[in-house]
């Protein structure tokens, strides 16, 4: 049987990557798609960070310890991985290749470093940048979410400055003023009606 790697790129839907600064609303957009658009496959990342209330292992993330994350790196299991604000995050490669080979619209929600790695590994991927309406609104959302202590919020805001400067590396920018509007435009970009 042909491996997923052998499938011609012509048959594959384009891999779509959603990225943007912490607190901009990426998880909110993804949650809407998870609920209303099961025809889109959302990649489940591995992470060494601890679950937030309501997050489910195997749905939102695979929550792993450092030793398991090291093993996955060693085994070459990641399409990309990065350290972000003190935790590590990575996209398991095999499920992504399998879904694309099966013709399933596939979405990754990852940070800027990961988006750059996907650009290298799969130049045909569509990179979508989710931008906040303003810096002040980004701070309000990140603080308002109330899920991180002040030092982690500070690290995430420092990372956000660099991430906002990278917007021009992306194929498309969507400004997250209305989640519904962003979801509609994202699905249109993915050719999901």
> Which residues make up the interface to ligand ADP (CB under 6 A)?
22-28, 141, 144-145, 176-179
Give residues with Cβ within 8 angstroms of 2, minimum separation 6.
none
Question: Where does this chain touch ligand 5GP (CB under 6 A) — which range of 69-77, 85-93, 131-139, 185-193?
Answer: 85-93
Sign of CA pseudo-dihedral 20, 165, 177, 13: negative
CB of 113 to ligand 5GP, least distance (A): 5
Backbone angles phi, psi at 23, to 5 degrees: 95, -5
170 binds ligand 5GP (CB under 6 A): no
Half-sphere exposure of 145 (CA within 13 A, CB side): 21
Give residues with Cβ within 8 angstroms of 133, minimum separation 6.
175, 176, 177
CB of 141 to ligand ADP, least distance (A): 3
Taking CB under 6 A as the criterion, the residue among 100, 113, 127, 183 binding ligand 5GP is 113
CB of 64 to ligand ADP, least distance (A): 20
Nearer to ligand 5GP, 19 or 105 (CB): 19
């Amino acid at each position: 049987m042909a491996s997923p790697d052998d499938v011609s790129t012509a048959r594959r839907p384009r891999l779509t990557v959603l990225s943007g600064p912490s607190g901009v609303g990426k998880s909110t957009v993804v949650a809407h798609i998870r609920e209303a658009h099961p025809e889109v496959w959302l990649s489940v990342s591995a992470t060494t960070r601890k679950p937030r209330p309501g997050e489910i292992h195997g749905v939102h993330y695979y929550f792993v310890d450092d030793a398991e994350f090291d093993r996955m790196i060693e085994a070459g299991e990641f399409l990309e991985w990065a350290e972000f604000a003190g935790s590590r995050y990575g996209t398991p490669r095999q499920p992504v290749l399998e879904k694309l080979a099966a013709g399933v619209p596939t979405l990754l929600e990852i940070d800027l470093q990961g988006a750059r790695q996907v650009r290298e590994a799969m130049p045909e991927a569509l990179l979508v940048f989710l931008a906040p309406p303003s810096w002040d609104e980004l701070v309000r959302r990140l603080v308002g979410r109330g899920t991180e202590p002040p030092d982690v919020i500070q690290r995430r805001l420092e990372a956000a400055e660099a991430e906002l400067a990278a917007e021009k590396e992306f194929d498309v920018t969507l400004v997250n003023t209305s989640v519904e509007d962003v979801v509609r435009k994202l699905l249109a970009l993915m050719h999901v009606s």
